[in-house]
Amino acid sequence: MYKITRKRELVENIFLMDIEARRVAKSALPGQFVIIKVDEWGERVPLTICDYDREEGTVTIVFQTLGASTKKLAALSEGDEIRDFVGPLGNPSEVVTDEKEHLLKKKIVFVAGGVGTAPVYPQVKMLKEKGIDVDVIIGTRSEKTLIMEEEFRKVAKNLYVCTDDGSYGFHGLVTDKLKELMEVDKKEYDLCIAIGPMIMMKFVSQLTKSYGLETIVSLNPIMVDGTGMCGACRVTVGDEVKFACVDGPEFNAHLINFDEAMRRQSMYKTAEGKKNIIMEQKSVHEHSDLCDLGEILHEEK
Amino acid sequence: MKKNRVPVREQKPEERVRNFKEVSYGYNLEEALLEADRCIQCRNPRCVGACPVAINIPKFILELRNGDIKGARDTIGEASNLPAVCGRVCPQEEQCEGSCIVGIKGEPVNIGKLERFVADWAMENRYRNTEKLPGNGRKVAVVGSGPAGLTCAGDLAKLGYDVTIFEALHEPGGVLVYGIPEFRLPKESVVREEISLLKDLGVKIETNVIVGRTVTIDSLIEEEDFEGIFIGSGAGLPMFMGIKGENANGVMSANEYLTRANLMKAFRSDYDTPISHGRKVAVVGAGNVAMDAARTAVRLGAESRIIYRRSEKEIPARAEEVHHAIEEGVIMNLLTNPVEILVDEKGFVKGMICVKMELGEPDESGRRRPVEIAGSEFVIDCDSVIMSLGTSPNPLIASTTKGIDTNRRGCIIINEENGETTLPGVFAGGDAVTGSATVILAMSAGKKAASGIHAYLEEKHS
C-alpha cells in the first residue's frame, strides 16, 4: 500500500498528489512514468512522474479526472492509501541523460499542453540546475485551467502562456505561438520537446517538421502492464513497431504515425461507456460474480 | 486390476461456456481412493523418472491409499512446491502418466488428478507443513514470482535462507495469474493459496518492483546485501507477425487479452479494466496460450476460431485443451495462414485475408514445413484478432546488468549443471533461459538453481 502524503486541486479537475513510494522515488528520473492501481478492482493507469523527493521517499503525480479510474483516485484524501504504485517505467528523458556540454550547445523549446504541463516541469528544473536555459510554451483553455505557472517562472528563461479564449497571455494555440517566436522573433531553436494531448503533439510535430526542427514527444497510449509484456501500447515509429512503455515513452515526433496512435488511443471509448452502463446497472439488479459481461453480451444477441 | 481410470467429473460444455469456473471438478475422496488402487507400486517406477521434479509418486499414492493424506502431501512437498497447480496444468501425458506401466495395456494411473486431490485436500483442511532448517542469515533475492521463482524460493527457504521475491506486477504468480485462465486454474482458491504456503515458510514477496528499473541486480547485491540471486523473469515479450493491418484496433497479443481477462478480471463487472468483446474472434496460433485465448473469447460471448498454419498432428497445445476447446464450440481453421488484416474506415478490424497451406518437406525441427497454396486467398469474417505466436524473454534485466550474457534470441546463458549465469552468484532458470516452455520445466529449473545457489554459498562461506 502506498500513502498519499499531499493532495491539492490545482485547478478544477486537475489534481496533484505526493505518494509515498520509497523505491520509486529513489530511482525515478524525469521523463519516466508510473502505473497506479487504486484498489483491488482498479485498472492499471499510467501517469507521468512530475517530481520526486528522494529524501522524503515521495513521488509527485498530476492528473486530470477523465474516466472512472482518475475519478476514483481524485476521491481519495491525504492519508489514504492506494493499492499499487509501480515504477519508474520507460526510459528517462534524453535531455536529462544527455551530456551537459552537448546540451549547452542546443537552444531548446518545450511545448506543454494541459495536464502535460506538469511532467515538463522536472525536466526544465533539472536543466536549470545544470545551468541550461530553455524557453517554455504552455497551452491551456483559459486562465482558470492554467497550472504551475509560478513554478515555471522560476526555472524557464522565457515563459509563454497561451490560452484558447485569450483570457490570459497569448490568445491562440501553442503552434501559433511557436510559429510567431520563430518567424517574428527570429528565434532559432535546435530542439523542441512537446508533451500534451496527442492532437497537440501531432500539430506541433507537423509545424516543426516544416521548419526541420528536431522534435521529441512523450506518447501516452493505452497501457496494461507497462513492462513490455503485452504490446497494448504499440506505435509505429518510422518503419518499426515500438512498445511505448519500454522503447519510449519519448520518440522522434517526425517519425510517428499520429493518426494510428490517436485511433488506438480511442479503442476502448465504447468499452468504457459499456463498463459505466454495467456499473450503473449493477446497483439496480442482482448479479452473479462471474461472467457478468459475458452474460450481458449473450442477452444482447 | 481395472483397465480404465476412474473418470473425472467435469462441467458440461454448454454450461461452462457461460462461466469462468473451473472445468474439471477433480476427484472426491472415494474416487481418489479407487484410482489410487490402480497403481501397481512398481519396484522401479518409471513415472518418477519422467516427472521433471521427481516426485516419489508410488509412495504418495500408497500413503493416500492407506488413508494418510497428510503423509501423501508431505511426500509430494519434498519435491514440489506447487502441487495444486501442477496437478492441473502439467502435460502429464508426456511426463509421469506417459511412462506409467499400467498405461501399456490400459489407461495410465491418473497421477495428475491424484496429486491435485491431495494438494486440494490439504488446502481445504488447512494442513500446512512448514518444516525447514534453522535460518542461516543469508539473503537470497528471487526475480520474478512465476513457477521458476516460486519453486526456487520455496526450496531455499526450506534450506534456511532469508528469501525475498521481487515481482513487477501487482500480484505474484507470473503466468499462473496473468496467463492461464481461471477455468483451468482458479486464482483465489488455488494459486493464491498455494503461494501463501511459501509465505508460511518465511518467503517475503515484494510486488510492484521491476528489476532493471525500480532496483537493479547490482543494487540488490551492493546496497541490499543479497548474496545470491535467481532470475526467473520468464519470457513475456509477445511476437507479432508484421503483416499489414496488425496495428488496427481489435488486434492484440494473447498476453494482452489474457492479462486483461485473468489478472485484471475484466470479465467481471465489479472490476474496472475493459476487454475487447468482439463478436467474431480469430486467434492466430495453436499453442496452449492460443487455446486459452480462444476459450476465453467463447466465454465472453464471441464466435471463436483458431487459425493455424499446420495440420492437427502438429498442434502444440495439449490434447485435452484442444478437445475442450472443440467441445466448447471453438472453430478450427487448420492449414490456414493470415496474410493481411482488413481495417474499416474507423480503424477497427473488419476481417482477415488468409491463404490455405499444404505441408511440404520436414524442416530443422522435424515438422513438415507449411507451404502456401498459390491463389488460395480467402477472407475470414472477424472483428478481433488475437496473436498467439509465442513470446521471447524481456531484455530489461540483461540490458541493465553488466556481465550477464544472452544468446541471440535474448535468452540468458547458464551453466546447465547448476543454473549459474556468466555473472558469479547470479543464477537463472525457466523461460528466461529457454524461451517459452512449460510450468513444470520452469519448476525443475528453479529447483536446480536452488541447489546451485546453496552449493555456491556453502562454498563461499567455507
Q: How far is CA B290 from CA A230, B254, B322, in A?
A: 14, 7, 10
CB A267 within 8 A of CB B249: yes
A62 is in an annotated binding site: yes
Q: How far apart are CA A107 and CA A103, in angstroms?
A: 8
- C-alpha A70: how far from chain center: 13
Average pLDDT over every residue of B110-114:
96
ipTM of the complex model: 0.89
Single residue among B124, B149, B174 that ends a domain in this structure = B124
Residues B17 and B93 in one domain: yes
How many whole angstroms separate alpha carbon B260 and alpha carbon B254? 10
As to burial, measured by CB atoms within 10 angstroms (0-12 exposed, 13-18 middle, 19+ buried), residue B95 is buried
The partner residues of B415 in beta bridges, in order of sequence, read none
Contacts of B145 in chain A (CB under 8 A): none
CA–CA dist B412, B445 (Å, integer): 13
Find the length of chain B: 462
pLDDT value of position B457: 96
CB contact B262 to A (< 8 Å): no
Q: What confidence score (pLDDT) does residue A294 get?
A: 38
CB contacts, 8 Å: B237 with chain A:
228-229
SS3 label, residue A280? helix
DSSP for A159-177 reads: EEEEETTSSSSEES-HHHH
pLDDT of residue A9: 94
Answer yes or no: do B382 and B273 share one domain.
Answer: yes
Measured between alpha carbons, how far is B276 from B69 in angstroms, rounded to an integer? 44
B335 burial level (CB within 10 Å; 0-12, 13-18, 19+): buried
Contact A294, B300 (CB under 8 A): yes
Residue A50 labelled as part of a binding site = no
Q: In terms of pLDDT, which residue wins out, B133 or B142?
A: B142
Q: Are residues B348 and B248 in the same domain?
A: yes
The answer to whether residues B396 and A228 touch, using CB atoms and an 8 Å cutoff, is yes
Position A298 pLDDT exceeds 60: no
Contacts of B404 (CB under 8 A, 6+ apart): B217, B231, B397, B398, B412, B421, B422, B423, B426, B428
| Lowest model confidence (mean pLDDT) among A268-277, B308-317, B376-385 | A268-277
B233-291 pLDDT tens trace: 999 899 999 999 999 999 999 999 999 999 999 888 888 998 877 899 999 999 999 99
In a domain, B115, yes or no: yes
Q: Given pLDDT bands bounded at 50, 70 and 90, which one contains residue A295? A: very low
Half-sphere exposure of B74 (CA within 13 A, CB side): 11
**How large is the average pLDDT for residues B16-42?**
95
Burial of B225 (0-12, 13-18, 19+ CB in 10 A): exposed
Name, in order, each residue with C-beta under 8 angstroms of B12's C-beta and a sequence gap of 6 or more. Answer: none
> Tens digit of pLDDT for each residue in B158-211?
999 999 999 999 999 999 999 999 999 999 889 999 999 999 999 999 999 999
pLDDT by residue (tens digit) across A59-69? 999 999 988 89
pTM above 0.80, yes or no: yes
HEC letters along chain B: CCCCCCCCCECCHHHHCCCCCCCECCCCHHHHHHHHCCCCCCCCCHHHHHCCCCCCHHHHHHHHHCCCHHHHHHHHHHHCCCHHHHHHHCCHHHCCHHHCCHHHHCCCCCHHHHHHHHHHHHHHCCCCCCCCCCCCCCEEEEECCCHHHHHHHHHHHHCCCEEEEECCCCCCCCHHHHCCCCCCCCHHHHHHHHHHHHHHCCCEEECCCCECCCECHHHHHHCCCCCEEEECCCCCEECCCCCECCCCECEEEHHHHHHHHHHCCCCCCCCCCCCCCCCEEEEECCCHHHHHHHHHHHHCCCEEEEECCCCHHHCCCCHHHHHHHHHCCCEEECCEEEEEEEECCCCEEEEEEEEEEEEEEECCCCCEEEEECCCCCEEECCCEEEECCCEECCCHHHHHCCCCCECCCCCECCCCCCCECCCCCEEECCHHHHCCCCHHHHHHHHHHHHHHHHHHHHHHHC
Q: Tell me: do B219 and B247 sit in the same domain.
A: no
Closest residue in B to A82 (Cα) is B170
Report the distance separating Cα B214 and Cα B233, nearest Å.
15
Of B372, B389, B406, the domain-final residue: B389
User: Is A64 annotated for ligand binding?
Assistant: yes
For residues B383 and B399, membership in a common domain is answered with no
Predicted local distance difference test score (pLDDT) of residue A271: 54
Contact A6, A16 (CB under 8 A): yes
Q: CB contact, 8 Å: B20 with chain A?
A: yes
Nearest CA-CA distance, residue B230 and chain A, Å: 19
**What pLDDT, on the 0 to 100 scale, is given for residue A67?**
84
- The answer as to whether B58 is a domain residue is yes
Q: SS3 for A20? A: strand
Domain assignment present for B132 = no
> Is residue B129 assigned to a domain?
no
Nearest to A301 by CA among B284, B277, B264, B383: B277
Q: What is the pLDDT of residue B116?
A: 97
- Distance between CA atoms of A93 and A130, rounded to whole angstroms? 15
Q: Which residue has the cell 528471487?
A: B142
pLDDT at A272: 53
Predicted confidence band at A284 (pLDDT cuts at 50, 70, 90)?
very low
Rounded to 10 degrees, the C-alpha dihedral B407/B413/B416/B418 comes to -170
Four-CA torsion B200, B204, B209, B211, nearest 10 degrees: -120
B chain contacts of residue A292, beta-carbon cutoff 8 Å: 267-270
**Are B308 and B422 in the same domain?**
no
CB A230 to CB B274 under 8 A?
A: no
Task: Retrieve residue A180's grid coordinates.
Answer: 510567431
Range of the domain at B304: 240-389
Instruction: Specify whether B268 is located in the same domain as B291.
Output: yes
Predicted pLDDT of residue B195: 94
The pLDDT of residue A270:
58
Please tell me the distance from the alpha carbon of residue A231 to that of residue A242, in angstroms, as a whole number.
Answer: 8
Q: Is it the case that residue A291 has pLDDT exceeding 70?
A: no
Predicted pLDDT at A300: 34
Contacts of A272 in chain B (CB under 8 A): 274
CATH code: domain of residue B331: 3.50.50.60
CA–CA separation, B281 vs A195, rounded Å?
Answer: 36
pLDDT in tens, A227-253: 999 999 999 999 899 999 999 899 999
Residue A230 assigned ligand-binding role: yes
* Domain co-membership, B229 together with B253: no
The pLDDT of residue B361 is 86
Distance from the Cα of B277 to chain A's closest Cα (Å) equals 8
pLDDT at A282: 43
Beta-carbon separation of B209 and A278 below 8 A: no
Residues of B in contact with A44 (CB under 8 A): 170, 264, 273
- Same domain for B291 and B381, yes or no, is yes
Q: Is B303 within 8 Å of chain A by CB?
A: no
Residue A84 has pLDDT above 50, yes or no: yes
Tell me whether residues A68 and B240 touch, CB distance under 8 A.
Answer: no
Give yes or no for a contact between B235 and B391, defined as CB atoms under 8 angstroms apart: yes
In this structure, the answer to whether residues B385 and B398 fall within a common structural domain is no
Measured between alpha carbons, how far is A257 from B456 in angstroms, rounded to an integer? 51
Q: C-alpha grid cell for residue B375?
A: 491463389
Helix residue spans in chain A (DSSP H): 22-27, 68-74, 94-97, 100-104, 117-129, 149-155, 174-183, 198-211, 244-247, 258-265, 269-284, 292-300
For residue B449, being part of any structural domain is answered with yes
Between residues B288 and A102, which one has the greater pLDDT?
A: B288
Average pLDDT over every residue of B421-446: 92
Shortest alpha-carbon distance between residue B251 and chain A (Å):
9
Q: How confident is the model over B387-392, as a mean pLDDT?
A: 93
Asked if residue A207 lies in contact with residue A178, where contact means CB atoms within 8 angstroms, the answer is yes
Closest CA–CA distance from residue B255 to any residue of chain A (Å): 5
State whether B209 and A23 contact (CB < 8 Å): yes
Query: Are residue B284 and residue B382 in the same domain, yes or no?
Result: yes
End-to-end CA distance of chain B: 54
Let me know if residue B131 belongs to a domain: no
- Report CA torsion sign: B79, B80, B84, B90: negative
Are the Cβ atoms of A271 and B20 closer than 8 angstroms? no
Q: What are phi and psi of B77, to 5 degrees?
A: -60, -25
Question: CB B247 to CB A24 under 8 A?
Answer: no
pLDDT at residue A293 above 60? no
Inter-chain contact A88–B272, Cβ cutoff 8 Å? Answer: no
What mean pLDDT value characterizes chain A? 87
CA distance B297 to chain A (A): 9
Q: Which residues contact B174 (CB under 8 A, 6 or more apart)?
A: B144, B145, B146, B147, B149, B150, B167, B232, B234
Exposure class string for B117-149: b at 16+ Cβ within 10 A, else e: bbbbbbbeeeeeeeebeeeeebbbbbbbbbbbb
How near does any CA of chain B get to the CA of A128, in Å?
Answer: 25
pLDDT tier at A297 (50, 70, 90 boundaries)?
Answer: very low
Beta carbons of B394 and A227 less than 8 angstroms apart: yes
Closest CB to B213 among A69, A89, A301: A89
**Is residue A15 within a helix (H) or strand (E), and if so which, with residue range?**
strand A14-20
- Minimal CA separation from B229 to chain A, in Å: 19
* pLDDT reading at A54 higher than 90: yes
The domain boundary residue, chosen from B328, B363, B389: B389
Closest CA in chain B for residue A269: B274
B133 in a structural domain? no
Mutate to test the interface with A, among B210, B211, B300 (most CBs of A within 10 A): B210
Same-domain status, B311 and B372:
yes
Q: Are A34 and A52 in contact (CB under 8 A)?
A: no
pLDDT computed for residue B285 by the predictor = 96
- Is B240 in contact with A241 (Cβ distance < 8 A)? yes
On whether residue B419 sits in a domain, the answer given is yes
B324 touches A: beta carbon within 8 Å: no
- List, for residues B224-233, the tens digit of each pLDDT value: 999 999 999 9
Q: Would an 8 Å CB–CB cutoff place B259 in contact with chain A?
A: yes
Q: Which residues of B touch A274 (CB under 8 A)?
A: 274, 277
Distance CA B39, CA B58 (A): 7
Q: Is A134 within any annotated ligand binding site?
A: no
In chain B, how many domains are there? 3
Facing residue for A86 by CB, picked from B208, B268, B274: B208
How many angstroms separate the CA of residue A114 from the nearest CA in chain B? Answer: 25
Q: What is the mean pLDDT of residues B306-330?
A: 94
pLDDT digits (tens, 9 = 90+) for B8-19: 999 999 999 999
B16 lies within 8 A of chain A by CB: no
